[in-house]
A and B are shown apart, each in its own frame.
Chain A
Amino acid sequence: DTGVSQDPRHKITKRGQNVTFRCDPISEHNRLYWYRQTLGQGPEFLTYFQNEAQLEKSRLLSDRFSAERPKGSFSTLEIQRTEQGDSAMYLCASSSSEAYEQYFGPGTRLTVT
């Protein structure tokens, strides 16, 4: 297994458009997390799944954001009606429920023009 992968790595979109990102976790990990990182800041938690269940969502996750993990494997994060303030690096991480460390993917850098 090569680790957590994310697609695309870069996305440029116009304000008002919808975008969707994909994350493939490490195959044996049942937990999956989404974070957002802006320039000069640490990652901020958005949401987390255990298997297919979305167990926690941050207040940062406005109604325009939705995340799914339909079969408990890969996950998608969709942002509707993008705004310039959504420009950031979106990071995905996975872990097993027996271990506490999270393994991060390379991120998707979103630029909203």
Chain B
Amino acid sequence: AQSVTQLDSQVPVFEEAPVELRCNYSSSVSVYLFWYVQYPNQGLQLLLKYLSGSTLVKGINGFEAEFNKSQTSFHLRKPSVHISDTAEYFCAVSPGNQFYFGTGTSLTVIP
């Protein structure tokens, strides 16, 4: 079975400050890892994915994430956030078909 834990339900951060959103997972099989962003009243948009290879992956809007197999983590980072980054962020794992999502982290960027 697979499960995803997003440790922080809400993260407030000042504009232009760095941010890290944490994600830990558990799985009995190899999984692929994803981060999605959801703006109010919209569907989910793919930020980045880890399938294999380099453990540091870069995505859209200046986000990056690092896969750590030993710690079963896939934390999302951005060195300098903008007001427009205010949204809900979801970490997800997939063994190849269905996705298992965390409960989300609400990122609020403060001007």
Contacts and interface: CB of A to CB of B under 8 A. Distances in A.
Interface of A: 4, 31, 33, 35, 40-45, 48, 55-56, 58, 91, 93, 100-107
Closest A-B pairs by Cβ, 4 of them: A42-B101, A104-B43, A104-B44, A45-B98
B46 A43 contact: no
Contact of B43 (A4, A40, A42, A101): A4
Say whether chain B's binding surface is mostly helix, strand, loop, or mixed: strand
Interface string B81-110: 000000000101010111111111000000
Interface string B5-22: 000000000000000000
Interface of B: 4, 32, 34, 36, 41-46, 49, 51, 90, 92, 94, 96-104
B90 A103 contact: no
B94 A100 contact: yes
14 contacts: A33-B98, A33-B99, A35-B99, A40-B104, A42-B102, A42-B103, A42-B104, A58-B98, A91-B43, A100-B51, A102-B99, A105-B43, A106-B43, A107-B42
